[in-house]
């Protein structure tokens, strides 16, 4: 008790002291701003989706719900290979479809027989959720879950008891397989299905049936740091398409009360967010490495090429979103050779293109600063926690980078210090050519990260002109490749 007292007094004193000595103001935040957990999420940038269930064995994309568990019989299952491939591809986390729309669950749930326990896999002693979550620990990747709200197997889908069932399964998942960083709520809902043998079409009210606020509260009690993904957030929003493309204008802000999961016709809004949105709900770009979300042999030659994956990287991470790249294991229970090859070549390509930062030793000049702590040099120190801020009450600014000598430039990467909010509304890039500035790009938002590809050009100086912003600009890093 005594020790505690002393420490507390010491703490109070030292914080008083440090307050006094470093009376240096930082720019005021422009709301909305991300939570600490959302900030950490932004830093993940790329991670993997894994779709694996009865569909892998039937060739379907959406199982009807009448599939026999006996078909789930991988011939050479190797979960370690899935997660090692993902790690080698430089991805930072895994989200697993623990249950897809067909209702088959990949762990031995005590609430249903329609599960891996009824399959031949490991003679009914298998648990794929456990295997994946443990492999993630082994490779230091974060683990997330997808649990389809729509369930075409359950007889009671559409009635209140199903929502209870769904919540019970969440409790099982969060109790046994944590820590879980992200929870994926799919917007696909209702329609025809097996439904315990009724074989009919069922419609639910997407807005009210699941009572999401209650479910979210329940999960948050079990996992306070959980981030929910859905069409409507609350923490992460869908990007509005499954092609791998975030809006060229991409605000992290949107007003949650204009959305709900499964709401039709909001794809455009989800894609761009809204400049005046009241909440911080960044977009996540989900896309599959193959045409389908599940493995199909006939798509073995349709695996996205490293070049296509690079293009997707540019339209997702390069536009300030995170990329959730789906990698579906095959009937052996392995990531197919073609997918592995493409992934590793893509990673190599990223490493090559983004390895030599020409701005690391650049001389940076700016036309204004907030104070001496927010100096221009903070833009090129490789530290996303330090930033340059323009003078208060400005909404435009100029940053000039002198590379020291003529270099071939192909990409310019800019990061806003989003802990203080997203500000930039439009900017232009210029390169120094024949003794004058030549504009090579004009774009809108920046956000967590913006990578602009410019035509390969020889230059010794680059200029970023912030043309318009919600408030004085605060940038953490600029890189030139």
Q: Which residues are 210's β-sheet partners?
A: none
Residue 383 binds: one of Ca ion, ligand FUL, none (C-beta under 5 to 8 A by kind): Ca ion
Strand 279-280 vs strand 450-469: parallel, antiparallel, or unpaired? unpaired
Neighbouring residues of 212: CB distance < 8 A, sequence distance ≥ 6? 185, 230, 261
Taking the C-alpha atoms of residue 289 and residue 176, their distance in angstroms, rounded to an integer, is 30
Q: Which two structure tokens, joined as six digits, stand for 435?
A: 């003794």
Closest CB 360 distance from Ca ion, rounded Å: 11
Q: Between 186 and 279, name the residue whose CB sits nearer to ligand FUL.
A: 186
Tell me which DSSP letter residue 441 carries: E
Q: Within 10 A of 302 (CB to CB), how many other CB atoms are there? A: 12
Let me know: does 319 contact 327? Beta carbons within 8 Å. Answer: no
Residue 291's Cα: distance from chain center in Å? 20
For residues 130 to 159, the per-residue mask of contacts with Ca ion, x marking binding by CB under 5 A and - elsewhere, is: ------------------------------
Residue 286 binds: one of ligand FUL, Ca ion, none (C-beta under 5 to 8 A by kind): ligand FUL
For residues 330 to 369, the per-residue mask of contacts with Ca ion, x marking binding by CB under 5 A and - elsewhere, is: ----------------------------------------
Closest CB 186 distance from ligand FUL, rounded Å: 5
Let me know: does 453 contact 411? Beta carbons within 8 Å. Answer: yes
Closest CB 132 distance from ligand FUL, rounded Å: 16
Residue 134 binds: one of Ca ion, ligand FUL, none (C-beta under 5 to 8 A by kind): none
Judged by CB under 5 A, which stretch of 31-39, 130-138, 385-393, 416-424 contacts Ca ion? 385-393
Q: Within 10 A of 271 (CB to CB), how many other CB atoms are there? A: 21
Q: Between 286 and 330, name the residue whose CB sits nearer to ligand FUL.
A: 286
Q: Between 102 and 416, name the residue whose CB sits nearer to ligand FUL.
A: 102
Judged by CB under 5 A, which stretch of 91-99, 251-259, 355-363, 381-389 contacts Ca ion? 381-389
Closest CB 324 distance from ligand FUL, rounded Å: 8
Neighbouring residues of 419: CB distance < 8 A, sequence distance ≥ 6? 29, 33, 34, 39
Q: Burial-class residue 417 by CB neighbours within 10 Å (0-12, 13-18, 19+).
A: buried
457 scored as a contact of Ca ion (CB under 5 A): no
Q: Between 189 and 476, name the residue whose CB sits nearer to Ca ion.
A: 476
426 scored as a contact of Ca ion (CB under 5 A): no
383 scored as a contact of Ca ion (CB under 5 A): yes
Q: Between 210 and 293, name the residue whose CB sits nearer to ligand FUL.
A: 293
> b/e for 246-264, b at 16 or more Cβ within 10 A?
bbebbbbbbeeeebbbbbe
Q: Between 300 and 381, name the residue whose CB sits nearer to Ca ion.
A: 381
Residue 188 binds: one of Ca ion, ligand FUL, none (C-beta under 5 to 8 A by kind): ligand FUL
Among 56, 148, 230, 378, binds Ca ion (CB under 5 A): 378
386 scored as a contact of Ca ion (CB under 5 A): yes
Among 49, 476, 478, 479, binds Ca ion (CB under 5 A): 476
Let me know: does 320 contact 445? Beta carbons within 8 Å. Answer: yes
Residue 159 binds: one of ligand FUL, Ca ion, none (C-beta under 5 to 8 A by kind): none
Taking the C-alpha atoms of residue 320 and residue 117, their distance in angstroms, rounded to an integer, is 41
Residue 293 binds: one of Ca ion, ligand FUL, none (C-beta under 5 to 8 A by kind): ligand FUL
Q: Between 112 and 378, name the residue whose CB sits nearer to Ca ion.
A: 378
Q: Between 325 and 420, name the residue whose CB sits nearer to Ca ion.
A: 420
# of chain residues touching Ca ion (CB under 5 A): 6
CB closest to ligand FUL, residue no: 188
Binding site for ligand FUL (CB under 6 A): 61, 186-188, 286, 293
Residue 8 binds: one of ligand FUL, Ca ion, none (C-beta under 5 to 8 A by kind): none
Nearest in space to 343 (alpha carbons), one of 311, 295, 309:
309
Nearest in space to 228 (alpha carbons), one of 359, 47, 37, 53:
37
Taking the C-alpha atoms of residue 145 and residue 96, their distance in angstroms, rounded to an integer, is 5
Residue 476 binds: one of ligand FUL, Ca ion, none (C-beta under 5 to 8 A by kind): Ca ion
Closest CB 328 distance from ligand FUL, rounded Å: 10
Q: Between 173 and 478, name the residue whose CB sits nearer to ligand FUL.
A: 173
Q: What is the DSSP string of 311-364?
A: HHHHHHGGGT-EEEEE----TTSS--HHHHHHHHHHHHHHHHHTS--TTTT-EE
> b/e for 73-89, b at 16 or more Cβ within 10 A?
ebeebbbebbbbbbbeb
Closest CB 242 distance from ligand FUL, rounded Å: 7
Q: Which residues bind Ca ion (CB under 5 A)?
A: 378, 381, 383, 386, 476-477
């Amino acid at each position: 008790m005594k020790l505690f007292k002393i420490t507390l007094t010491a703490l109070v004193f030292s914080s008083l002291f440090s307050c006094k000595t470093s009376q240096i103001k930082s720019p005021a935040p422009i709301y909305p701003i991300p939570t600490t957990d959302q900030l950490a999420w932004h830093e993940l940038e790329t991670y993997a989706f894994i779709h694996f269930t009865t569909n892998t064995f039937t060739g379907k994309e959406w199982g009807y719900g009448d599939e026999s568990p006996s078909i789930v019989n991988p011939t050479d299952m190797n979960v370690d290979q899935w997660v090692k491939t993902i790690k080698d591809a430089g991805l930072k986390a895994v989200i697993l479809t623990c249950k897809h729309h067909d209702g088959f669950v990949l762990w031995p749930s005590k609430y249903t027989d329609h599960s891996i326990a009824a399959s031949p896999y490991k003679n009914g002693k298998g648990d794929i959720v456990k295997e994946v979550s443990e492999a993630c620990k082994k490779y230091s990747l974060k683990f997330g879950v997808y649990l389809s709200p729509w369930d075409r197997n359950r007889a009671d889908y559409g009635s209140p008891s199903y929502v209870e069932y769904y919540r019970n399964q969440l409790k099982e998942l969060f109790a046994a397989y944590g820590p879980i960083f992200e929870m994926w709520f799919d917007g696909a809902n209702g329609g025809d299905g097996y439904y315990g043998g009724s074989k009919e079409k069922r419609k639910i009210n997407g807005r009210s049936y699941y009572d999401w606020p209650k479910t979210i509260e329940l999960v948050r009690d079990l996992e306070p740091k959980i981030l929910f993904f859905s069409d409507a957030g609350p923490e992460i929003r869908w990007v509005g398409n499954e092609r791998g493309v975030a809006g060229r204008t991409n605000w992290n802000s949107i007003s949650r009360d204009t959305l709900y999961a499964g709401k039709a016709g909001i794809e455009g809004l989800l894609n761009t967010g809204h400049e005046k949105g009241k909440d911080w709900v960044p977009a996540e770009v989900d896309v599959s490495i193959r045409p389908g979300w599940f493995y199909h042999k006939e798509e073995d030659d349709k695996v996205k090429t490293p070049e296509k994956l690079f293009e997707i990287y540019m339209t997702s991470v390069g536009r300030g979103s995170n990329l959730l790249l789906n990698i579906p294991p095959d009937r052996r229970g392995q990531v197919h050779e073609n997918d592995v090859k493409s992934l590793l070549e893509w990673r190599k390509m990223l490493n090559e293109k983004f390895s030599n930062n020409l701005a690391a030793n650049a001389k940076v000049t700016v036309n204004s600063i907030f104070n001496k702590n927010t100096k221009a040099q903070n833009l090129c120190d490789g530290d996303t926690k330090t930033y340059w801020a323009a003078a208060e009450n400005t909404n435009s600014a100029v940053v000039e980078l002198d590379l020291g000598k003529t270099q071939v430039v192909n990409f310019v990467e800019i990061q806003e210090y989003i802990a203080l909010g997203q500000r930039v509304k439009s900017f232009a890039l210029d390169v120094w050519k024949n003794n004058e500035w030549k504009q090579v790009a004009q774009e809108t938002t920046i956000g967590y990260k913006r990578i602009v590809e410019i035509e390969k050009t020889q230059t010794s100086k680059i200029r970023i002109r912030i043309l318009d912003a919600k408030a004085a600009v605060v940038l953490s890093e600029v890189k030139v490749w």
